[in-house]
Structures are given as structure tokens and as C-alpha cells.
Copies of this chain bind each other. A is one copy, B any other.
Amino acid sequence: MRFTSEQRLDDGVLEREFTLGEIPGILWTPASASASAPAPLILLGHPGGQRKMYPRLVGRARHSAEDGFAAATIELPGSGDRPRSAAAEQARADLRRALQAGESVDDEIVDRLVLPLVEKAVPEWQAVLDALLSLPEIGGPVGYSGGVIAIGVRLAVVEPRISAAILFAGSFVPRTTFEEARQVTIPLHVLLQWDDEGNDRQAALDLFDAFGSKEKTLHANMGGHTGVPQFEGDASARFLTRHLR
């Protein structure tokens, strides 16, 4: 892991850009984090396009830092400055065409779009997690928050170092993700935007139902995809504090 830039934000949070092999990412550590008081870590998922997502990511990271958590994000394969995959671009084009024609989106398109992303992104998150946890100022436990829900589900199943997860019920869930959901056992906090046009509400409720976790909470709010109310940021922080401190 190579740090490529470093700046101290006005609230004392240290922001460092890094690369791990071909994976670019950002790490935020609270002023309080040190080798003698290592901070728990939140992995911040997003839909891809780290630069565009930066304002929201840094907001979530600063909120996490208030509770003493470090936070990290990485660019998704095929997004931002990372090389495009011809197959993913084709799937994205097919998806766009179906949506513009007002058609329902074939499972087959969803599989082509999301599954290769899951296959690539999950080991990348795990490699980054190895590197982050080797830093003296970062300790466990580890939480995951947000982003492409199929990635969050797979991580929750295969990565035992993740103790709790916040998932955004989003559109386009591959069928296999429903099966994997039954194997998830960590505490979950699931956010659903009730009127999200790009979202299949029933699929989101079915996925929530499928999770095997004994503690799972669904928070549904009005409004579209980006309209999550501000008070949910506080509710998410309390969920993480309950499980990671």
C-alpha cells in the first residue's frame, strides 16, 4: 500500500489517498487514532466513481471520525480512472437500452453487469483490508457501509473480519445474491428509499427477508435514491457504534 497524498482536514481528520497495486483508494483516520489507540474501521462502499462520490464519501468519513472510527473507500473495477471492461460496458449499454424502452430488466443483464463486479471487487476489498489492518493506527473491528448491495452481501458472507454491515437496498440484485443473503449472519442495518424509481421495492423487501442474520433492521424512508434523510446518518452511526465499540 502506497500513500500518494496526505492532508489534514479542518476537523483534524487525516485524509490519505493510496494505491494498492492497481486499486486506488482513500483512507480517513480520526485525529485520535494512534498505535496505542487504534481506531475501528468502516469500509465505505459506493456505486463507483470515487471522484464524483467524494463529497458524500468525505461526509460519511467525517461523521464516522466523530465516533472515533477510521474509514476507507476504494474505486470499483471499471469505474473512475480504472480500465473499462468491454463486457461490463456492453451490459451497462443493454441495461440503459432496456430502461429507456421502459422494459423490465432481464435477470441475465443484471448478472452480466453485477456478478463480474462482485467477483473482482470482493477480493480487492479483502486485499485492502489486509493492508489497512497492518497499519498501527487501525485496529478492528471492521464494519461495511453502503455501495453495490451484491458486493456488501458477498463480503458479509466471505469476510469474517467484518462484524456488522449497513446496506443500501438498491436496484438490480442478481438472483444468486438472494441465496447468499441466507448465509449472512452478522448484524445488518438496511436502508430502503421507498419511492426510489430505479429500485424494485418488492425485491428489496424480499432480500431483507432472506438475510439469515438474527439482528437485522430495515429503515425505510420516503423519497428517491439520493434522498436518504439526514437523521439516517445518525442512526447508521449508532448502529456501528453499538456493534464495533
The range of chain A's interface size is 20 to 34
Q: Which of A227-245 contact B (CB under 8 A)?
A: 229, 231, 234-235, 238, 242
Interface with B: A132-140, A145-153, A208-216, which one?
A: A208-216
Residue A218 lies at the interface, judged by CB distance under 8 Å to chain B? yes
A158 contact set on B, CB distance < 8 A: none
Are B220 and A231 touching (Cβ within 8 A)?
no
Q: Determine whether the beta carbon of A217 is less than 8 Å from that of B216.
A: no
Copy count, this protein chain: 2
| B220 with A218: CB separation less than 8 A | yes
**In the complex, which residues of chain B have a beta carbon less than 8 angstroms from the beta carbon of A213?**
222
A175 interface residue per 8 A CB criterion: no
> Contact: B231 with A222, CB < 8 Å?
no
Given the interface contacts A215-B222, A218-B220, does A209 sit within 8 Å of B194 by beta carbon?
yes
- The answer for the CA separation of A217 and B222 in the assembled complex, in Å, is 7
User: Closest CB of chain B to A28's CB: distance in Å?
Assistant: 26
Question: Could you list some 10 contacts between A and B, CB below 8 A?
Answer: A194-B208, A194-B218, A208-B220, A215-B222, A215-B229, A216-B222, A217-B219, A220-B220, A231-B242, A235-B235
List residues of A whose CB falls within 8 A of some B CB.
194, 205, 208-209, 213-222, 229, 231, 234-235, 238, 242
